[in-house]
Structures are given as C-alpha cells and as structure tokens.
Amino acid sequence: MSKVIPYQLCKLQQIITGREKPEWIKHFKSEWRILSRRPINNTYITNVDQWTCGCLYYLTSRFGICKHLVQQKEPVSSNFFDQIKRNNQPPFLTECDQDLVNVQSITLHNSNESNDNENYNNQSENSDEIYNELITLTTKALTLLEEQKEASNILWARSIKKKFNSINRMVEEVEQYKRKRTLHLTWKGHTHNTRFLN
C-alpha cells in the first residue's frame, strides 16, 4: 500500500500530463502495423465510422481491431497513436485532440479526489459501527463461553468448536504476518486475513 500505490499514482499523473504514454499504446501500435501488412482473403461487414467488424479476430482482439478495419482506415500518421481513444460504445475507437484529453483527464482526476475524500469520511464513520458490532458480538460469545464453562457443558463446547476454526485461522495468520521481518509490498503472499492489516 505504501510503495505500490504512490508509484501508480505518480505514473498516472505522468500519463495525464502527457509526459508518459500508457503501456497499451506500444502494443496497440505494434499490432496495428502487423495487421496493416496481412493479406485480406474474406470480406466482412466492416464499419470504420463505428469501428466494428464481423470477423472473428475483431471479436477476440484485445484492442478491438482487425486487418479489415486497419486497412480500410486511411493511412495514419505517427500522431494518430498519441491521440487514440478507446470507448465502451460505438464508435469504439476515435481520434481526439491530446490537449482536450489532458483537460478532461485532469478534471476527472480532481473530481475523483473530492469523491475519494468523501468516501474516506464515510468509511471512517462506518468503521466505528463495524468495530462496535464485532466487539459486541465477540463479548456476547465470550460471556456465553464462560457461562457454559462454569456449567461444565463439554458436549456444547465440542459441537461449536468447529465454528471457531475460521477465527483461529485468522489469529494464526495475523500473528505469523506480524512476525515476518519484511512485509509484503504487493498482494502476493497475503491472505484474506492479512490483506488490509496495518
């Protein structure tokens, strides 16, 4: 959380300001050039304006492109790949002015920051409720255990012991996590019980 997320935020800021390109642009450009040289043997219903094609390659393409669309598109300049924009609805691929993209991205980034602050405040309020609920429930369970212990009710203890397996697993995993000399910087190596642990 403390290493990966700041790095990703910095990288996103570089992309927003135009100092760095998204990683997918390089792969998109490479695939575009490969498809532009492939021979066309079959014809499909192809619409460059809506950026759709009926061929199987288009339907399975990571970028939603195929040789039919690429070769029907007029020859593109090197700036084309800097101004490309992918959409969730037709037209699925459009060109746009980079300055406009930067302004929209910065506006979106600022609005997301304010939304994040609101979400953080809401989460802080909800966290007290969640913890109070868990503490109350645990206290009731502890009281019940002590009562049954005084009554020497071993049959009840044996029947509900398996219900505490998940809690036991959580405690063991957290203790093992805290004993480690170096903490994980990514999700790899974490369990469900240690993923968000401070």
Per-residue pLDDT of the chain (198 residues; tens, 9 = 90+): 777 888 888 888 887 777 777 788 888 889 999 999 999 888 888 998 899 999 999 999 988 899 999 999 878 887 888 788 888 888 888 887 544 444 444 455 555 555 555 655 566 667 788 888 889 988 998 999 899 999 999 998 888 888 888 888 888 888 887 777 555 555 556 676 676 666
Give the DSSP H/E element, type plus range, for residue 9. Answer: helix 4-16
Q: Which two tokens stand for residue 71?
A: 């070769």
110-144, pLDDT tens digit by residue?
555 555 556 555 666 677 888 888 899 889 989 99
Residue 195 backbone dihedrals phi, psi, to 5 degrees: -60, -45
Q: What is the pTM of this model?
A: 0.44
Rounded Cα–Cα distance for residues 121 and 24 (Å): 34
- From residue 123, alpha-carbon distances to 119, 130, 132 in Å are 6, 10, 14
